[in-house]
Structure 1
Amino acid sequence: MTQDDITLLVLAGGQGRRMGGVDKGWICWCGQPLIVHVLSRLAGQAGSVLINANRTLEAYERLGYPVITDLEDDFKGPLMGILSGLSAASTPWVLVVPCDTPALPEDLVVRMIDNIGGCDIAVAHDGERAHPVIALIRRELAEDLREALAAGERKIDRWYERHVWCHVDFSDQALAFTNLNTPEDKTNLAQRLERDGST
């Protein structure tokens, strides 16, 4: 597998309930929208990029990448966003990341490739907990995911367990996986990164 075999899928289609219902991709952090931080961290590391969004579509399109909406309405969660990305991608692999994790490791793609081995799914782990929405997934799993969603499955972990999967250790960059769910999270992450000397 090379970087050209991967489509980067940025999930920006949620409801942002804990942020007051705003479109989280456009929340400003350290001078830029969250979606811009994520795209910048991973720029040039994948063969193609897709943005999964269900609101403010024209704004996302102005970022210069294809924008896909969920295949079904009613905000059915990240698994629906993942299915939409797997269905739209033309590469054999899809790297899924959320739009609210602005400090992602700049070597995320390389390390996921190097450590997936013979698995169909690799999930980032920060040394204390897994981050299921940051995962490298074989595109061929799209049909199985479609069937799982049709049967009512909404839990990412349970769907992963249907397949051969592994964790990828990022315990040396635990802060990089901090996601911003509340206004307080924005302040806390900026302060912690400053103390840590990270960029």
Structure 2
Amino acid sequence: MSLPNKPAYTIDAVILAGGMARRMGGDDKGLVELNNQPMISHTIARLSPQVDRIMINANRNQQRYAEFGFEVFSDNDSGYLGPLAGMITAMGNTQADYLLVVPCDSPLLPTDLASRMLNTLLVADAEVVVASDGQREQPVVLLLKPSLRDSMKAFLDAGERKIDFWYAKHHYEVASFADQPEAFVNVNTPEQKQQLAKQIAQ
């Protein structure tokens, strides 16, 4: 089954920018400059042609994030509870058929991310699809049904935090992007940022 670049199903995306970025010295990763643009700008540019709507999950600097022109929301559950909290809020904030979740610090995301993940989900009749670079699953790059919100909230409320433990409880499939493994390179340290800046410049 092949799908057009922008699928017939409605897909909203949430960019997770809600973390504390301890390894970046506490700097807000989505707003860290990468080749003269905030990191999240690169992510937005990749996603915009692929989805119907973009939301940004941020727990600080909301006004700065709002300047990108998309809806910005913080976690419903306070206390920096990790990516699950942002996903739960986003699932309650969408009317789309599917929600695509990505982090704010992966500026080279595939340009066919949404269509390839949706294709995997439909063929397998899965509830969740997680991306893989061919070597490792990327646990915060997901396509999922918003109806799974209650399940994820119960998981978080039980004190669980690891997203891969949650999706293992559901019918999930892996979408391989082994043909473009660099797509999921993310930036956690200033050194990684310098390396990636060189890569993008080339």
> Do both share a fold (TM > 0.5)?
yes
Match of 2:61 in 1: 56
Structure 1 residues not aligned, in runs of 5+: none
Deviations 1:158-197 (A, max 9, x none): 0001100011010111011001000111122233456xx6
> Which of 97, 100, 122 in structure 1 is aligned with 2:102?
97
Match of 1:107 in 2: 112
Percent identity over the alignment? 41
Structure 2 residues not aligned, in runs of 5+: none
Q: RMSD across aligned C-alpha pairs, in angstroms?
A: 1.4
| Cα shift at 1:69 | 0.7
| Cα shift at 1:31 | 1.7
Q: Give me the TM-score of the superposition, normalised by structure 2.
A: 0.92
Q: Give me the TM-score of the superposition, normalised by structure 1.
A: 0.94
> Which of 182, 186, 198 in structure 2 is aligned with 1:191?
198
Question: Once superposed, which parts of structure 1, at least 4 consecutive aligned residues long, lie more than 2 Å away?
Answer: 1-4, 189-194
| Cα shift at 1:21 | 0.6
Aligned to 2:76, what secondary structure does the other structure show? coil
Aligned to 1:122, what secondary structure does the other structure show? strand
Aligned to 2:160, what secondary structure does the other structure show? coil
Q: Count matched residues.
A: 195
Compared CA separation, residues 26 and 154, structure 1 to 2 (3 A)? same
Aligned to 1:181, what secondary structure does the other structure show? coil
Instruction: State the one-letter code of the partner of 2:28.
Output: D
Please say if residues 48 and 54 of structure 2, whose CA atoms lie closer than 8 Å, have aligned partners that are also in contact: no
Match of 2:80 in 1: 75
Aligned to 1:171, what secondary structure does the other structure show? coil
Instruction: State the one-letter code of the partner of 2:26.
Output: G
Match of 1:140 in 2: 147
Match of 1:16 in 2: 21
Aligned to 2:20, what secondary structure does the other structure show? coil
Equivalent-residue separation in structure 1 for 2:182 and 2:95 (angstroms):
32
